[in-house]
Structure 1
Amino acid sequence: MTQGLPFAGHIFDGVFSHLALHYFEPDVTAFVFDEIRRVLRPGGVLVFAVKSTKDPYYGRGQRLGDHIFARKGHVRHFFDEEYVRKLLVDWTDISTDAYGGTYASSEPSAFIRAVARTAV
């Protein structure tokens, strides 16, 4: 993903990512979102979920950057709604919601889910 998606532009109607977009530095994150927008057709939909700054692990471990922490060798970039909307600035029909649950353990987690469309 960090090298560019191996697809021609404007060929997909939708992209779905569940907890995969929160592992990158901010400049790489912006590049990945640009790549997703590039491969989506006009009006294409992106649906994704990422770790939230309200997650219990936020702020724990070694601080690597703004909202980025390494804990037990696992690096996470935590998102807030402002950051999500910044990444989606050129998108339309944006909706976000915060939710909690568990993932890969019994410990509680906090997430942000977003849905957006590319401009038509």
Structure 2
Amino acid sequence: MMRDDLVLKGQHSQWESSYLKNKDMFGESPSEAAIRAAKIFHLHGIKKILELGAGQGRDTTYLAQQGFEVIALDYTKEGTERIRQKSIALNLSDRIQVVQHDVRLELPFENCSLDACYSHMLYCMAFPIRDLETLSRQIHRVLKPGGLNIFTVRHKGDPHYGQGIHRGEDMYEVGGFIVHFFDRNKVDKVSVGYKILDINEFEEGGLPRKLWMITMKKESN
């Protein structure tokens, strides 16, 4: 196995240790992406959402508070435990189901069983494009006909693109974390079987990070 492949796989322990050190690594407030996504989900009559890469649950709890049923999936033990703690503290246990799972594996849900999928920056984690194409197919499988997949990615206009250690494709490691930066071609690669409804550009954080929020609808089975 190539060294960069080993580094990509090593991101799991990087996230585990980071979440262990900081119980609210990204703060307690929801992301702008989650606030925007909730409005879109309400407009489309969405009830049940699969959140991938839920982290420590700042968006999970917000979405549940907005009236959605949320299945929060993350591959870290620390992250999923923190989401469980928050759901109990906020009396949201009836709206939040927590699952520890690696999205590189088949999603543990039935075909056509979910209304929508949401993820904030999961697609720009340390996944080669082949893994992201597989993930999009898995999301497509579990969505109901007409279901939505809303996700965000950092794009090549981001100040960190090309900085740090190159880890293959358009992935760069800065501060121990690997980011996969997108261009429009990559968006097209992960949108097979979907209709792209919107690509919205926005900024986040103090750098600031440059992101796209992509809203796609499942077109075919």
State whether TM-score is above 0.5: yes
Q: Let me know the Cα RMSD of the aligned residues.
A: 1.3
| Identity percentage of aligned residues | 26
Report what 1:94 is aligned to.
197
Contact 2:128 2:169 in 1 (8 A): no
Tell me: higher relative CO, structure 1 or 2? Use CA pairs within 8 A at least 6 residues apart. 1
2:219 is aligned to 119
Range moving further from structure 2, 88-97 or 106-115: 88-97
Matched positions, count = 117
Note if contact 2:198-2:214 (Cα within 8 Å) is conserved in structure 1: yes
Where does structure 1 differ by over 3 angstroms across 4 or more consecutive aligned residues?
none
TM alignment of 1:1-120, pairs within 5 A: 1-23=103-125, 24-102=127-205, 106-120=206-220
Structure 1 runs not aligned, ≥5 long:
none
The one-letter code matched in structure 1 to 2:216 is A
CA deviations 1:23-53 (Å, max 9, x no partner) are 1111111111111111101110011111111
Instruction: Give the distance between the partners of 2:204 and 2:121, measured in 1 at CA.
Output: 13
Q: Is the 8 A contact 1:80 1:112 kept in 2?
A: no
Q: Determine if contact 2:165/2:174 at 8 Å carries over to the other structure.
A: yes
Code of the residue aligned with 2:121 in structure 1: it is L
- Alpha-carbon shift at residue 82 of structure 1 (Å): 2.4
**Greater share of strand residues, 1 or 2?**
1
| CA separation of 1:45 and 1:58: change in aligned 2, threshold 3 A | same
Matched to 1:49, the amino acid is T
Q: TM-score, normalised by structure 2?
A: 0.50
Contact 1:47 1:115 in 2 (8 A): yes
Aligned-pair CA distance for 1:98:
1.7
Return the structure number with greater helix share: 2
CA distance in 1, matches of 2:192, 2:133: 11
**How far off its partner does 1:67 sit?**
1.1
Which has the larger Rg? 2
